[in-house]
Amino acid sequence: MKKFLLSFVFMFSVLMAGNINMDGFVRSYIGVLTNDSLDYSIVMNTFNLNLSKTGDKMGFKVNPYIYQYSGGNMELGLREAYLDIYFPSMDLRVGKQQIIWGKADGVFITDIVSPKDLTEFILRDFDEIRMGITALKSDYYIGNNTLELVWVPVFTPTKMPPATSIWHPKMPDFPAPATFDYTRSEVRHDLKNSEVFGKFSALTGLVDFEVMGAYTWEDEPTMHVIKHFNLSNPQHPVLDSITIYPEYHRLKVGGGSFSTTIGPFVLRGEGAYYNGKYFNTTRPDAPESVVKKDYVHYLVGMDFSVKGWNTSLQFIERAILDYTDDIEQEQYSNMATFLIAKNFLYETLHISLFTYYDFTDKGSLVRPKISYDIADGVEGIVGANIFTGSEGIFGQYNDNDMVYLKLKYSF
Amino acid sequence: MRYKTAMLMGILITATGLMAQQKLTGLEVMEKVYNRPKGNDMEATLTMILINSNGDKRVRKIKQYIRDFGKVEKKIMFFVEPADVKNTSFMNWSYDDPNKDDDQWIYLPALKKVKRISSDSKGDYFMGSDFTYDDLGNRKPEEDNHKILREEKYRGEDCYVIESTPKDPDYMYSKTITWVIKGKWIGLKREFYDEDGEYLKTLNVKKYEKINGVWVLTEVEMDNAQTNHKTIMKLSDIKINSGIPARMFTERMMKRGL
């Protein structure tokens, strides 16, 4: 801890000496479960600092943060720490950085460069869900067209909540005692395990679009299952136990997105083809109970305004190709999102409602929020996260309905 | 908060254009105000001071660049204050073609991506101020019927007093009355009346000056009589025809910021 504090003192000294831009926020956040327990779902204080400088030929940014939880637990980290080098038609960015692609809101289809921090499921602000990754990124510009190439030398998976967390995904009912073995879950840090991403994007008066490709890793591991049978009676083997090996696999992804205006509407679309994903299967002869299939994931969305209420709708579908009934996931999974928001009192009072609805498992996440600007840069927020359903991505958290209060000071 | 603007420079810039004192119609007067030459490009810092009925102040500061490319006029704005919107940027392409809507994008640093937004909300208020996008100069003269009520001296200037009533009966104002300085074609004062015909607010030009041969309104104030809320807009660090490069109006600059 002392080292971190000294680091901050050092950074402030540099800041004072180097005419460096500084901004950030301090936030206090408390959430209460609305079930009978009335437990706190979160008590958290945050200090987030952005130090940056942009010159004619170079720039940099460092984004240290501290999360301090109830009980004294503390998380300190660098969300971003990179250098920029500017050329007449090209920029290079080297270091830890968040890279965000695509036109979808709150849905990850072509947006697969930066992994996610799901410590608090998807409830954090988007810039806090995104994890910075060490990468070399080059952007080559031709007018408003950009060719972006990204090399990620070290794979970083999605950060999942610990098993003790209320946000840890529910485990399925195993047919026998299960043991997790993580010996196969490491992706070695070497050149052949690096990731590459490429994107061409254009911004025009008619339409904005992106075309992307990636040779990457799946961000969440496939669960390989080895079954152990009691063969004391060879005629009737009995399943004794299972061992689950989480393991990451390579993925090849190609996709694109677009956004255009039609009268008062903004129409958006995004889709990707994923090659080489493993799915769990009940097929007895499938090695380790997995089977390799391709799938597509796509979205259409529309933004519009009705009497000052900004509204957004998105429909999302994921479809497994060459599907067989033994695959444990549904062939098609469908979801929708809905956002409505409006500002009042000279834009000091903001009201919004954002909802995910999972058609496949009939669950939802409903997120009403009211925020008030107490003064310039000082914001008080009251909101709720309401889960419905009994299974699936949202229904599994049905006992985690919560209300929360945040006070945030931006400087 | 809405992060888009309209032709802010359109209202803040005027030209000397000494016109012959001929008998003009109300529409011709308002077209001269709308079509004032503005120079090829302009760079400025815009400071907005929002004052509520209790006298509490909020401040918004924006660095903005605008350039006329012939058939399209491009603007880019970088938000400097308040801190919670710092590094947000906004870009607008406005076309001469009256049938083509503006293209608008916003870059939100928290989302780290440039997002296309709809330009179909000219009646919305700009950044929590008392100015709508239309008030900032986006409203075309042909959208209203104009009538010269009288000619009179106002603050020492010879003015036309023009009453403008919208052709769209559902428009947010039932009428406006504008005091236009003859020859300079500056709307020195404008009164706004709400949908029910009640007096709503007044725009007053407090200061204007000639910079590089172009009249620029450097301080304007909008007082809302119904809410006792007031917005003061000031322009500073103004540069006209400084040769802003085309690369300033790109996605690259929206992301990079100042």
What is the signed CA dihedral for B21, B24, B27, B28, rounded to 10 degrees?
-50
Question: pLDDT of A75-121, one tens digit each?
Answer: 999 999 999 999 999 999 999 999 999 999 999 999 999 999 999 99
Predicted local confidence at residue A109, as pLDDT: 97
Average per-residue pLDDT in chain A?
Answer: 94
CB B57 within 8 A of CB B50: yes
Comparing alpha-carbon positions, the chain A residue that sits nearest to B103 is A205
Residue of B nearest to A98 (CA): B112
Task: Report the b/e string of A201-238 with b at 16+ CB within 10 A.
Answer: bbbeeeebbbebbbebbbbebbbbbeeeeeeeeeeeee
Question: How far is it, in rounded angstroms, from Cα A310 to Cα A367?
Answer: 16
Q: Report the residue from B81, B120, B130 with minimal CB separation from A305.
A: B120
Query: In sequence order, what are the residues at sequence separation of 6 or more whose Cβ sits closer than 8 angstroms to the Cβ of residue A160?
Result: A118, A119, A168, A169, A220
Q: Which residue of B has its CA nearest to A344?
A: B128
Residue A365's pLDDT is 98
Inter-chain residue contact A125 with B110, CB threshold 8 Å: yes
- Choose the mutation target among B93, B118, B201 for the interface with A, i.e. most A CBs under 10 Å: B118
Backbone angles phi, psi at A105, to 5 degrees: -110, 120
Please give, rounded to a whole number of angstroms, the shortest distance from the CA of B65 to a CA of chain A.
17
What pLDDT does residue B11 have?
A: 39
Confidence band for A244, pLDDT divided at 50, 70 and 90: very high
Specify the 3-state DSSP secondary structure of B132: strand
Q: Which residues contact A87 (CB under 8 A, 6 or more apart)?
A: none
Reference B94, options B64, B115, B66; nearest CA is: B66
For residues A385-404, average pLDDT: 96
Nearest to B111 among A100, A146, A303 (CB): A100
10-residue mean pLDDT profile of chain B (258 residues): values are 40 38 86 90 97 94 96 94 92 87 91 87 81 82 95 96 94 96 95 96 96 93 96 97 95 91
Write the DSSP assignment of A105-151 as a string of letters.
SS--SS--SS-BB-EEEE-S-HHHHBPPEEEEEEEEEETTEEEEEEE
Round to whole Å and give the CA distance between A32 and A36.
11
Q: Is the dihedral of CA B144, B150, B153, B155 positive or negative?
A: negative
Contact A346 B86 (CB under 8 A): no
Task: Name the residue with tokens 């498992």.
Answer: A361
Query: What is the edge-to-edge ordering of all strands in the sheet holding A222-230?
Result: A178-180, A238-247, A222-230
The rounded Cα A215 to chain-centroid distance in angstroms is 19
Which residue in A126, A346, A348, A379 has the most chain B C-beta atoms within 10 A of its own C-beta, making it the best mutation to test that interface? A346
pLDDT digits (tens, 9 = 90+) for A189-237: 999 999 999 999 999 989 999 999 999 999 999 999 999 998 888 888 8
3-state helix vs strand vs coil in chain A, percent to 5: 10, 60, 30
The token pair that represents A167 in the structure block:
């946000």
Closest residue to B124, CB basis, from A143, A304, A308: A308
Question: What does R_g of chain B's alpha carbons equal in angstroms?
Answer: 18
Tens-place pLDDT, residues A333-378: 999 999 999 999 999 999 999 999 999 999 999 999 999 999 999 9
Residue A175 scores a pLDDT above 70: yes
**Contacts of residue A388, Cβ cutoff 8 Å, sequence gap at least 6:** A363, A364, A366, A394, A395, A398
Q: How many angstroms separate the CA of residue A358 from the nearest CA in chain B?
A: 24
Alpha-carbon distance of B115 to B104, in angstroms, equals: 9
Q: Do B83 and A126 touch (CB under 8 A)?
A: no
Residues A355-361: contacts with CB within 8 Å, 24+ apart? A356/A106, A356/A394, A358/A333, A358/A334, A358/A389, A358/A392, A358/A393, A358/A394, A358/A395, A359/A333, A359/A334, A359/A335, A360/A330, A360/A332, A360/A333, A360/A334, A360/A335, A360/A392, A361/A389, A361/A391, A361/A392, A361/A393, A361/A394, A361/A395
Cβ atoms within 10 A of the Cβ of A88, count? 6
CA dihedral over B62, B67, B73, B74, signed as positive or negative: negative
pLDDT confidence of residue B22: 58
CA dist., res. B63 & res. B254, Å (int):
12
Cα(B30)–Cα(B144) distance, rounded to whole angstroms? 10
| Contact between chains at A305 and B111 (C-beta distance less than 8 A) | no
DSSP, res B249: G
pLDDT, residue A231, reads 85
pLDDT band of residue A2 (cuts 50, 70, 90) is low
- Say what the ipTM of the complex is: 0.90
Closest CA to B240 of B32, B18, B66: B66
Q: Is A91 on the interface with B (CB under 8 A)?
A: yes
Owner of token pair 């992106």 = A210
| Domain edges within chain B | 8-256
How many CB atoms are closer than 10 A to CB B132?
21
Say how far apart CA B68 and CA B74 lie, in whole Å: 6
A55–B contact, CB cutoff 8 A: no
- Cβ-based neighbour number of residue B104 at 10 Å: 24
Residues 213-272 of A with CB under 8 A from B: 259-261, 263-266
Q: In the structure encoding, which two tokens stand for residue A338, read together?
A: 């809905």
A176, A227, A363, B53 from A241: Cα distances, Å: 5, 6, 32, 72
What is the SS3 assignment for A263?
coil
Q: How far apart are alpha carbons A167 and A161 in whole angstroms?
A: 6
Closest CB to B118: pick one of A305, A347, A408.
A305
User: Does residue A331 register a pLDDT over 60?
Assistant: yes
Contacts of A44-47 with CB under 8 Å at 24 or more apart are A44/A68, A44/A69, A44/A70
List all residues of chain A from 383 to 402 with a beta carbon under 8 Å from chain B.
Answer: none
Record the tokens describing residue A283, joined without a space: 């097929």
Class of the CATH-defined domain B8-256: mainly beta
- The verdict on a CB contact (< 8 Å) between B125 and A347 is yes
Q: Which residues of B152-180 are buried (b: 16+ CB within 10 A; e: fewer)?
A: eeeeeeebbbbbbebeeeebebbbbbbbb
Return the SS3 of B128: coil
Q: What is the pLDDT of residue B78?
A: 97
Mean per-residue pLDDT for A400-409?
97
What is the token pair recorded at A334?
A: 């469908």
Bridge partners of residue B104, in order along the sequence: B92, B117
Q: Which of B109, B118, B251 sits opposite A261 (nearest CB)?
A: B118
Spatial distance between the Cα atoms of B67 and B248, rounded to a whole number of angstroms: 10
- With H, G, I as helix, E, B as strand and everything else as coil, classify residue A331: coil
Chain B hits for A304, Cβ within 8 Å: 118
Inter-chain residue contact B127 with A305, CB threshold 8 Å? no
Please state, in angstroms and rounded to a whole number, the distance separating the CA atoms of residues A373 and A358: 33
| H helices, E strands: number in chain B | 3, 14
